[in-house]
Amino acid sequence: MTHVKVTARAMNVEYAIRDVITYTDQLVREGKKIYYLNIGDPPAFDFPTPPHIKQALCKAIGEDDNHYSPSEGIPELRQAIVDKEKRVNKLNLDPENVLVTEGVSEGIQMVLATLVERGDEILFPGPTYPPYISYTKFFNGTPIAYRTIEEERWQPDVDDLRSKITKKTRAIVITNPNNPTGAVYGKKVVKQMLDLAAEHNLPVVSDEIYDQLAYADDDFASTAYLASDDTPVIGLNGFSKAYQMTGWRLGYIYFKAKGNELDDVKHGILQECRIRLCANTPVQKAGVAALNGPQDHIRTVVEKLKQRRDYAWKRLNEIEGISCTKPEGAFYIFPKIHEVGKRWKTDLDFVVALLRQTCVLVVHGSGFDPVYGAGHVRAVFLPPIETLEEAFNALERFMKKKR
């Protein structure tokens, strides 16, 4: 029997963060202990989902809130999101301009499906979260990376961004705090990017899933808060990181514009929400509890992460052949491997060799952008310091080995 034909768009989808897991198969069969530093999944470590959120989910299920809900999200959650954005990011939103998604990743897919047609270009920071690249390609568009500067704490290069805007550009993506670098973009830089977008009549897509995980209180400011009325902003956010709800798959999109500039975009995304029916109803009920209930755990999480950030940054910079910038948000670190291109042909070759010899799993930087991510790796610093110490000690021994 011949193979069933598969579309090129499906075969060419890449997601480096999970694609690297395939290299662990043999090691797992051999019973080896793997140090999984590849996925940003707080509940997989010692960051449990807060009890009041879990109780709200159980309550919703017990009360038979197990039915389909409105495609745009239940009203009480959309209102809770508006209240949260006001409280945390000083935004004035209307619930009608909020759509609930099954995680930020679904939101990215929906936004790009609405914006991108064949030949259209999306500008994103290099390096960036891989779905921005993969979904742009999936919808026959062209992903274009603008430079972020490692020597300047991975801040965006506004001149480079300016040089890459063309007649085919449909949107500028800002991921802040950034995945994979952990950078928090300065307010001045973000305003310059917003001015560029306004000058060229472009919307800004702002991914702020780590908005509550910045290590200095006054460092982060929401793009939509900084934007003037002349720049429409499509915001993306969710519950996975600050509320330890990764497996629950709950996020949202919001729209901020002066008039009706984003009405067609919102309508297109709402149509996508309808065709997939709705987000998980009991989980939406728990999302209300997450936003309206106690928030004390967030400060505790940030303090714990800050200690692990400091350790990871110091320890990695002590290893010969590795250097890295201190992350200012999220829970990722993006070290440079100086002998990629010499001792190892590519950063993926480095990742595979490291895994096979030490069972430490990180992600190749080129998976976050083949130009600006190359020669680096991304690691999470979510595990306890004792576990990080074991993994980094193994990494140091690996780096000291002769070729």
pLDDT of residue 175: 97
The CA distance from 20 to 367, in Å, is 10
Chain-centroid distance, C-alpha 141: 20
pTM: 0.94
pLDDT of residue 67: 96
pLDDT in tens, 344-384: 999 999 999 999 999 999 999 999 999 999 999 999 999 99
Write the CA distances from 24 to 36, 130, 214, 358, 363, integer angstroms: 10, 21, 32, 11, 12
Res 230 pLDDT > 90: no
Per DSSP, the three-state class of 227 is coil
pLDDT of residue 314: 97
Tell me whether residue 387 is exposed, middle or buried, using C-beta atoms within 10 angstroms of its C-beta: 0 to 12, 13 to 18, 19 or more: middle
Q: Which architecture does CATH list for 51-292? A: 3-Layer(aba) Sandwich (3.40)
pLDDT of residue 1: 64
Q: Which architecture does CATH list for 8-48+297-400? A: Alpha-Beta Complex (3.90)
pLDDT of residue 56: 97
pLDDT of residue 363: 94
DSSP run (H or E) holding 188: helix 187-199
Of the pLDDT bands very low, low, confident and very high (cuts 50, 70, 90), residue 249 is very high
Residue extents of the structural domains in the chain: 8-48+297-400, 51-292
pLDDT of residue 216: 87
The pLDDT > 70 percentage for the chain reads 99
Of the pLDDT bands very low, low, confident and very high (cuts 50, 70, 90), residue 18 is confident
pLDDT in tens, 275-334: 999 999 999 999 999 999 999 999 999 999 999 999 999 999 999 999 999 999 999 999
Res 403 pLDDT > 60: no
Of the pLDDT bands very low, low, confident and very high (cuts 50, 70, 90), residue 27 is confident
E-strand ranges in 232-287 read 233-238, 251-256
pLDDT of residue 15: 73
The CA distance from 257 to 92, in Å, is 11
